[in-house]
Structure 1
Amino acid sequence: MFQGLIYSTISALAFASMAILVKLGYAAGLDGAVMMQYRFTYAALILVPILYFKDRSLLRISWSNLWKCAFIGLVIYGLQTTCFVRGLAYIPASTAALILYIYPVAVALMSAVLLKAKITRLTAVALALIMFGSCLVFYDAFLKKAETIGLLYAVGAMVFFSIYLVVMQVVLKKMRPLTATLYIIIFAAISFNLTGEPAAWLTQTPESLTIGMALGLFPGVIAVTFLFMSVEKIGSAYTSIFSSIEPVATLAAAALFLDEHVVLLQIGGVAFIILGITLPNIHALIIRKRVVSQPEGSLQG
């Protein structure tokens, strides 16, 4: 459980950089599709040599798994990313993040219905704390005038991301996480290069290069890789709970890089989110400690 917590936290922190980088990209005059074109292409270019030198067998994939990755990268992940980036063009980053972070509830419900995963009382309490904390963190998002189309894009991003996490849990049963990550990123790169502007590669500036490389490294390679590793260790439901550290990181980054004002109510929301994240992990550690400390004879029927 603890290892899954670490993986999902790293992933969440890396994903949190995406909204900030996209906002900076829009401010620099970059198109959303072009930014994602850079993001996934650079991510693939970074990841391929890493896997090659780490373990060449990670580059091998069966045809059936290749088709699964193609579907996830071209369709599910492509739609989720497109919705989120387009939403950021119309609404504040805080509003988009708040809507996206309804996904832990959606993932838990989808896992219960489709994967027969059990939603315990502790999981329900953790989800409630996280949702309440997110509302406090981004309370002012509801007070801002937001365009309807931007809100719809954000809701679409939440739905597709929830589907993405649940589908990943099924796919990962027979795939190595890094292999799946690589091919999903490659197919996402193909998708955005076809729908974006291929000529943009010929007109890159130092600023667009920096933003593109950052998008490829942080919310690309680091975020997706550790997300897969977390789902493999602890499943999609717990990953979605632990990954909820992301709005905390988004809040801090927005205050630091976008000059967004942070108030006491938002800090209180951060406390609720952290509580919701730590409760399941503390409970798991207590149970594990009891099992380990239980006399060997008492385990026999």
Structure 2
Amino acid sequence: MANKNKSWAYVGLVAVAAIWGANFGVSRLVMETFDPILFAFLRFGLAVPLFFGLLYWKEGSIGVPVRVALQLAAIGFIGITVLEIAVMYSIKYTTLANASLLNVAPWPIFAALFAPLFTKESLTKRLAIGGFVAMAGVCFIIIGGEEGLDLSSDHMIGNVLAFGVSLFGALFNLACMPLMQKYSPLRVSAWFIAFGALFMLPLTCGSWGKVAWSSLGAGDYTAIAYNVLLCTVAAVFVWNAAMHQVGAARSNFFRYVVPATAVAAGYLFFDEQITLLQIGGATLMAMGLVWITSERSTSR
């Protein structure tokens, strides 16, 4: 079984994926109030001072060499600015089911395949089997919904964008791994979040005046706080720390918890029905993840 000192990492990965999954419901509630790019900027931009404050409190400094800052700028641009926008437009140009499946399902596969280029990780037999079982489960969760899967040419642009999110998202995760061998996950996270928010800021021009700021209610502020404190500060820190501990390939399979939690959020917030196929898929996904965690990581 996994070492006890890695148990916290697996618990953290599940918790973070659940937080991100529930955010589909939380964010959908405020999308009529905020432009999607503006809301994404608020999520990451408001998190920046919290990240750096926490970094200074824990480590006594916040700086990185110029060469590393340039690397983190590229990582932030791809991993935060480009990916967040691509996710939004993939949802716009295809169905939610298509976007969910293509955004999530291939991501861990790409991470496992490309991991040897960035780390000492390898794709083991147990990881491959567990990943395949978990991926099958998440496919059942998404296909079992009301929308089903529609791969017609009408949704080609959105489907390509969603698939691209999986590819570049996996590379984004892996690109952080070498830096986290030299710097703490908190320092790496703080800087790429800061650069990602900075590059996103010009894209919000024209959106600020469309928000009736004086009319925002408790629900709006709660959604912002949830996105900043839980989905960004806590989640990114825990995810990167856990990924550093057990490896990027193994960690990314836990992204499959996201659509399962999103389905649960839809049931709780919007009274969306959960089908037997989705319940079976969630069970299959859980079995695959348990199988993966029972193997000792060889990444370090």
> Structure 2-normalised TM-score?
0.85
Q: Does 1:41 align with 2:49?
A: no
**Cα drift, residue 178 of structure 1:** 0.5
Query: Who is 1:2 aligned against?
Result: 7
Query: Who is 2:260 aligned against?
Result: 248
Identify which range, 83-92 or 99-108, moves more after superposition. 83-92
Structure 2 alignment gaps of length 5 or more: 1-5
C-alpha distance in 1, partners of 2:43/2:115? 29
- Any conservation in 2 of the 1:19–1:93 contact (CA below 8 Å)? no
C-alpha distance in 1, partners of 2:98/2:33? 21
Deviations along 1:64-103, whole A, 9 cap, x unmatched?
A: 2222211111233321111112223344544322212221
**Cα drift, residue 187 of structure 1:** 0.9
Q: Does 1:166 align with 2:142?
A: no
**Cα drift, residue 269 of structure 1:** 0.3
Deviations along 1:258-290, whole A, 9 cap, x unmatched?
A: 3321101100000111111111222439xxxxx
Query: Who is 1:98 aligned against?
Result: 101
Identify if the C-alpha distance between structure 1 residues 198 and 52 changes in structure 2 by more than 3 Å, giving closer, same or farther. farther
Deviations along 1:131-183, whole A, 9 cap, x unmatched?
A: 11011101144445873333233222212211111111122111111011111
DSSP-derived class of the 1:262 partner: coil
Query: Who is 1:206 aligned against?
Result: 216
C-alpha distance in 1, partners of 2:253/2:149? 26
Query: Who is 1:64 aligned against?
Result: 67
Query: Who is 2:3 aligned against?
Result: none
Identify if the C-alpha distance between structure 1 residues 25 and 151 changes in structure 2 by more than 3 Å, giving closer, same or farther. farther
Tell me the amino acid that sits aligned with residue 186 of structure 1. Answer: A
Q: Does 1:188 align with 2:196?
A: yes
**Cα drift, residue 215 of structure 1:** 2.0
Identify which range, 44-53 or 31-40, moves more after superposition. 44-53
Tell me the amino acid that sits aligned with residue 196 of structure 1. Answer: T
> Structure 1-normalised TM-score?
0.84
Length, aligned pairs only? 284
Tell me the amino acid that sits aligned with residue 147 of structure 1. Answer: H
Q: Which of 209, 228, 234 is residue 246 of structure 2 equivalent to? A: 234
Query: Who is 1:87 aligned against?
Result: 90
Query: Who is 1:13 aligned against?
Result: 18
Identify which range, 210-219 or 248-257, moves more after superposition. 210-219
Query: Who is 1:292 aligned against?
Result: none
Q: What percentage of aligned pairs have identical amino acids? A: 21
- Any conservation in 2 of the 1:12–1:243 contact (CA below 8 Å)? yes
- Any conservation in 2 of the 1:17–1:219 contact (CA below 8 Å)? no
Q: Does 1:74 align with 2:71?
A: no
DSSP-derived class of the 1:118 partner: coil
Structure 1 alignment gaps of length 5 or more: 286-301
C-alpha distance in 1, partners of 2:171/2:28? 25
- Any conservation in 1 of the 2:91–2:99 contact (CA below 8 Å)? yes
Identify which range, 85-94 or 97-106, moves more after superposition. 85-94
- Any conservation in 1 of the 2:141–2:278 contact (CA below 8 Å)? yes
Query: Who is 2:277 aligned against?
Result: 265
DSSP-derived class of the 2:247 partner: helix
Identify if the C-alpha distance between structure 1 residues 77 and 160 changes in structure 2 by more than 3 Å, giving closer, same or farther. farther
Identify if the C-alpha distance between structure 1 residues 199 and 125 changes in structure 2 by more than 3 Å, giving closer, same or farther. closer
Identify which range, 207-216 or 159-168, moves more after superposition. 207-216
C-alpha distance in 1, partners of 2:155/2:271? 22
DSSP-derived class of the 2:140 partner: helix
**Cα drift, residue 108 of structure 1:** 0.6
Identify if the C-alpha distance between structure 1 residues 71 and 85 changes in structure 2 by more than 3 Å, giving closer, same or farther. same
